[in-house]
Structure formats: C-alpha cells, structure tokens
Amino acid sequence: MTENRIPALLTQLRTLHELTHAETQVAETRVAQARTEAVRKELTENAENCRIRAVAIEEAIRDLGGLPDVVGPFLGRAAVMVKTLTEQAQPFDEALLSDLALEHQLLDRARYVKALATAGGHRSVVTLADRLVTAHTATVEWLTTVIAEEALGGPAALRRTPFQAAAGAAVRLVNAPVTWSTRGIDRAIDVARSTRPRIESLLSRGAHAGDVAARTLTASRDAALETAERVSRREGADGAADALHRARSATGVLTAEELPIRDYDDLTVPKAVAAVKDLTEPADIRAIVAYEEAHKDRHGVISAAQTRLAAIAQDVVGV
C-alpha cells in the first residue's frame, strides 16, 4: 500500500475501534431489556464478542504501526450513557432505530476497511474486515427483525425497562391531542399498557371513540377495560370496543375462553408451543404472550411465541 493510503486505513480502524466500544455499551444496556433468557444470553454473548472485536481492531492498528485512540472509546462510552438516559423519554422504536444506524455505520466502515486493506495487500486486515462484515450484517438483520416485531405489536425480543416505559408514556401523554379518534384510543392504550396506571371508567352512555378516551379516570385498570368494552358494544361504539379489546389482549386480561388457542389453560408446554407455532396473526401471538406472562409465565411458551413473531416479522421486511 502506498504510504498516503496507510493513514486512511488507520483512520478507519480507529473509528471502528471507537464505534465498537459504543456497540459494546449498547449491547450491555440491551441485556436488561431482553424479554426471554435466550435473548438475554444472546445479547450477553454479543457484548463479549464486541469486546473481542475491539481487541482485534486494536491489534490491527498496532500491526500497521499506529496507536489506538484511548480517548475516543472513553468518549464513546460516555455518549452511549447519555443516549441511554435520553432514549428513556423517546419511543422505543426510535431507540432501536438509533442502534440500527450504529450497526449500519459499523458495517459500511468494515466494508471500506476491507477495500483499503485489499488494495494494500494486508491479508490479516482483510480477514478481520470479513469477520466484522459478517458480525454486523447479522446484527443489522437481527435489529431489523426486532423493529419489525415492534411495528407488528410485539412480543419483541426486547422491551422497555419500567423506567423507560414510564418516561416514554409521560411524553406521549403530554403530546396527546385533546380530541381523539379510534386511533387515538390505541395510543392511549399503549400508554396504559406501558405504565399500568389504575383507570376507573372509559365511557358514558352514547359514547363515541373520542368520548370513551376523554372520560378515562382512576380505578382498577382491568375492570375498567372490561366494563368499557362491554358498554361500548352496547352503545354501538364498535370501533372503541375493538380498540379496548386489543388493549385487554395486550395487557393479558383476556379470559382463557377469549384466547385464540382453544382450551389453552389445559395445554402442557409442548402442546402450547406447538399451538403457538400455528398462529399467523401478530395480535394472536401478542395475546398469548400477554396472557402467559400474566398467569403461568412459562418461558418456553413465551420464547416460542417470540420466535414465531420473529419469523413473521422477517417475512414482512424480507430479511
């Protein structure tokens, strides 16, 4: 490689080194948000692999006669800490999209490093770049799937911590419009599901979708949702009733008879897993997970449901 191209390669490797430290911090942060033990283990291993990649990049920099940046990684970790605090007041999907942007940058820079190393005949760096490309491609696909799961309503592999949920819900409440439509009810229910506030009643006679949401007060959430749905249907507000039913489904307060799997409470884990694998609607999968988490909390069933939704999500986004 000509001398004037070595600095370019070193610059990119140092940037990758800094970004990989940030990636490690993100992975460690996401461990606490894992829905299942399998996902938690995967994220823990990913964090460790990030550290291994950071060491390999540092060695490559030294082999080229350069010195790793010791300040950059420290600033990167500080930036991720700020990011973690900031994202607690933003929608969870935005936080995941930020993670995805980081992975795309790592992937693109790894490809660029491979091109620079190939041009200079540095085989060891080309091999390292191939490892990085493979790792970041897999992470991009995984995050794309998680974001698609979130868009489909979950259960996603990751979920907000209680603090993030409460902070995000508060922001959505501040920004909520005074006049609500049925879609507005869905947003309100997302707030209810995230923060689990105690609500008393969602409607009065002749209720329309906007009236239902406007009359939300304090009391038992579960009883209020069930009563609200029943009275909404009686008053002919079917759109509001449907939104409330989705809320009850998402919070796990459906009765066993309302679940999309017949005689669900009587099923063993293997039979429940087999039944979950036959589900095709994200809403049905979400209902099973919410019910399972609120009642028996069988991790094998929850993992199977999350895996089933991941497959649907991957099909939707073409991963």
Distance CA 46, CA 138 (A): 11
Nearest of 123, 143, 120 to residue 131 by alpha carbon: 123
CA 312 to each of CA 155, 167, 252, 281, 283: distance values in angstroms, whole numbers, following the listed order: 12, 30, 21, 9, 12
pTM here is 0.65
Per-residue pLDDT of the chain (319 residues; tens, 9 = 90+): 445 678 899 999 999 999 999 899 888 888 888 888 888 888 999 999 999 999 999 999 999 988 876 655 555 555 555 555 555 556 778 888 989 999 999 999 999 999 999 998 899 999 999 999 999 999 999 999 989 988 887 777 787 666 555 555 555 555 545 434 445 555 554 554 444 444 444 444 444 444 444 444 333 566 666 777 777 778 777 777 777 777 776 666 677 888 889 999 899 999 999 999 999 988 888 888 888 888 888 989 998 998 898 899 999 888 7
Helix (H, G, I), strand (E, B) or coil at 205: coil
| Residue type present at position 44 | T
Query: Can you give the pLDDT at residue 232?
Result: 79
Torsion, Cα 295 300 302 308, to 10 degrees, reads -150
CA 91 to each of CA 110, 181, 240: distance values in angstroms, whole numbers, following the listed order: 29, 21, 24
Whole-number CA gyration radius for the chain: 24
Determine contact, residues 240/207, Cβ cutoff 8 Å. yes
| Cβ-proximal residues to 185 (8 Å cutoff; 6+ apart), any chain | 209, 212, 213, 240, 243, 244
Residue found under tokens 């009236």: 211
Query: Can you give the pLDDT at residue 207?
Result: 47
Q: Output b/e per residue, 35-54; b: 16+ Cβ within 10 A.
A: bbebbbebbeebbebbeebb
Torsion, Cα 162 168 172 174, to 10 degrees, reads 100
Which two structure tokens, joined as six digits, stand for 216?
A: 């939300």
Query: Can you give the pLDDT at residue 267?
Result: 92
Query: Can you give the pLDDT at residue 58?
Result: 94
Query: Can you give the pLDDT at residue 231?
Result: 79
Query: Can you give the pLDDT at residue 238?
Result: 76
Determine contact, residues 130/114, Cβ cutoff 8 Å. yes
The whole-angstrom distance between residue 26's C-alpha and the CA centroid of its chain comes to 13
